[in-house]
Amino acid sequence: MHNRFRTIDRIIEAEVYLYVIFIFLTKGEGVRNVLLFSSFLLWLLTVRQRGNIGVLKNPVSMLLWGFMATVLISVVSSIDPIYSLYSLREPFKSVVFFCLLTTVLSDEARLRRFIRLSYLILLFTLFVGYYSYLAHDLPVMKPDIPLRHAWHNRFAADLNTLLPFSIVLLLLTKEPRFRVMILVTILAGVVALVLSTSRGGAAAFISMVVVWSIYVSRKKGADLRVVLPSLILVFTLIGTVSYHLSPKVRERVAQVVSLRERTRIWIPLLQAVSERPVFGWGYGSRIFKTDRPFENTPSGAAPVREDPRFRNPHNTFLRVLFHQGAAGLSLYVLLLFAAIRTFLKRSHTSDELRGYVLVACTGILIGTFLVHGLVANFKLSDLVLVLGIGLAAVNMGDEDSHS
């Protein structure tokens, strides 16, 4: 029985890794579904043999379940319940993925494999980005091939998810040649981030640099007055070179109108929310494109009628507020801060791997979901990846369920 559990558990582990790979691909929705639900079925069959299910009941997990409850309430109270029910596919998949990540990868060897996999995905992402930028003569860097296509803001968010885990790999690697290769890759990633011209992505990266700098200064006894300016100086130098070499970078740095344009979305959104402030207008992105929530606002119609670019709120917090109301937004914010607090508290540990992974997850939560999230939309599945890996690190070694 024990050998059978180990075999099934390794199959689940392999499927989780494959699923992570397909997250960063545009194609393969069917494959993603097969990987996710087949691994979840195996997980359910072996759930009684796992000694770490308690992680699904810790404060961070409970806040996630609370947030999911507001999703369900918004479906019931939706102005289009059938569509909202159909839109539950994404949060349901996120919950399944969360359960798998937090329990199956809560092992040192498996987290190390995840870190190495993240680095390989970063290499692929950078190759596609640079190839598309040079071969297609794009004004901004973004992936533009059939296997992976994304807007520049999404590309920047992908880099900001993968770069922190590559930094972990750099810190864990002892072989000088590999360290040089990883360092070159990270620098290429920073250049790609600048060339993506995503100002939210750049702000997110700087925020992550600050998180890492504070951690290094406390953990290693380094002088923060030296570490932080040095890291920011490197980013500034790369940005300066890119500014002078790329006209599009200069244009984006000088342009602030897009931030002002967002108020043309946010003001009618807040006016619409005032009519249904508690549970929102209903779950599902299409509801934001309908006129009904905005009938009693001065605009009288959905923002997308004014400009096709206004098809979403361009703000993760306001998106949650619109669809799930104050109930959803309050739990979303509490979830972020609870996770950040938990990860930071546990990062100061004697376990090197756990500490690095938790700092990486903290940096992503602050940079991407707090800072970049103010001007971009991020799905629950994006957040779940970081939360799941962070909680797997928190739970690592507490109860061995993989032996």
Residue 401: its pLDDT value, please?
47
Identify whether the C-beta of residue 60 lies closer than 8 Å to the C-beta of residue 321.
no
**Residue whose tokens read 């992402």:** 125
Give the separation between CA 124 and CA 120, rounded to whole angstroms: 6
Domains in the chain: boundaries? 2-258+306-395
Residue 18: its pLDDT value, please?
96
Identify whether the C-beta of residue 371 lies closer than 8 Å to the C-beta of residue 200.
yes
Amino acid residing at 379: K
Secondary structure of the chain as H, E, C letters: CHHHHHHHHHHHHHHHHHHHHHHCCCCCHHHHHHHHHHHHHHHHHCHHHCCCHHHHHCHHHHHHHHHHHHHHHHHHCCCCHHHHHHCCHHHHHHHHHHHHHHHHCCCHHHHHHHHHHHHHHHHHHHHHHHHHHHHCCCCCCCCEECCEECCHHHHHHHHHHHHHHHHHHHHHCCCHHHHHHHHHHHHHHHHHHHHCCCHHHHHHHHHHHHHHHHHHHHHCCCCHHHHHHHHHHHHHHHHHHHHHHCHHHHHHHHCCHHHHHHHHHHHHHHHHHCCCCCCCCCCCHHHHHCCHHHCCCCCCCCHHHHCHHHCCCCCHHHHHHHHHHHHHHHHHHHHHHHHHHHHHHHHCCCCHHHHHHHHHHHHHHHHHHHHHHHCCCCCHHHHHHHHHHHHHHHHCCCCCCCC
Identify whether the C-beta of residue 243 lies closer than 8 Å to the C-beta of residue 261.
no
Neighbours of 121 (CB within 10 A): 20
Identify whether the C-beta of residue 363 lies closer than 8 Å to the C-beta of residue 328.
no
Instruction: Find, among 234, 131, 235, 232, the residue nearest to 193 by Cα.
Output: 235
For the entire predicted model, the pTM comes to 0.91
Residue 171: its pLDDT value, please?
87
**Residue whose tokens read 């790369």:** 238
Residue 257: its pLDDT value, please?
41
Residue 240: its pLDDT value, please?
58
Per-residue tens of pLDDT for the chain, all 403 residues? 567 888 999 999 999 999 999 999 988 899 999 999 999 999 999 998 888 898 999 999 999 999 999 999 999 999 999 999 999 999 999 999 999 999 999 999 999 999 999 999 999 999 999 999 999 888 889 999 999 998 888 999 999 999 999 999 988 988 989 989 998 999 899 889 988 888 889 889 989 988 888 887 776 554 444 544 555 566 566 555 554 455 555 555 444 445 567 778 899 999 999 999 999 999 999 999 999 999 988 888 888 888 888 888 989 999 999 999 999 999 999 999 999 999 999 988 768 899 999 999 999 999 999 999 999 999 999 999 999 999 999 998 754 545 4
